[in-house]
Amino acid sequence: MRNSKLYKGSLNTIILKLLEEKGKMYGYEITQKVKEITKDELRVTEGALYPALHKLEAEGFLEVEVAKVDNRIRKYYKLTEAGEKETVNRLLALEDFIRNMQQLVNPKWSLE
């Protein structure tokens, strides 16, 4: 990731959401897509990404399909059924988190 420590813990959610949206993606593609969407403000480093993908796979949330394109290996990941459920939960948790952070940071409560 880039600069901010805030991103800690959100990588899995990002991966799951991208896969939900795109159907299947390979690792390098994910790094590029995040760069593109966030206009280079957020970079998923490979040192964080690959272990995260392997863990999500080990937990049964992702499955892999290996392909060979231009003489190079690609590992396409897609959500399992459990992964789809997990994605829903993670997105709900993200919404809660953002709502809570906004409540903490927007000073409405200071008028109490």
Partner DNA sequence: ATATATACCTAAGTATCTTAGGTATGTTAG
Partner DNA sequence: CTAACATACCTAAGATACTTAGGTATATAT
Q: Which residues bind its own copies (CB under 8 A)?
A: 3-10, 12-14, 17-18, 21-22, 34, 36-38, 41-42, 91, 93-94, 96-98, 100-105, 107, 109-110
Interface pick for DNA out of 36, 39, 58, 71 (rule CB under 7 A): 71
Q: In the complex with its own copies, which residue's Cβ is closer, 82 or 101?
A: 101
Q: Identify the CA nearest to 77 among candidates 27, 111, 28.
A: 27
| DSSP 8-state assignment for residue 8 | T
What's CA 36's distance to the chain center, in Å?
A: 14
Q: If binding is defined by CB under 7 A, does position 78 make contact with DNA?
A: no
Burial 77-101 (b: 16+ CB within 10 A, else e): bbbeeebeebbeebeeeeeeeeeee
Q: Which residues contribute to the site for DNA (CB under 7 A)?
A: 1-2, 5, 7-12, 26-29, 32, 45-48, 50-55, 69-75
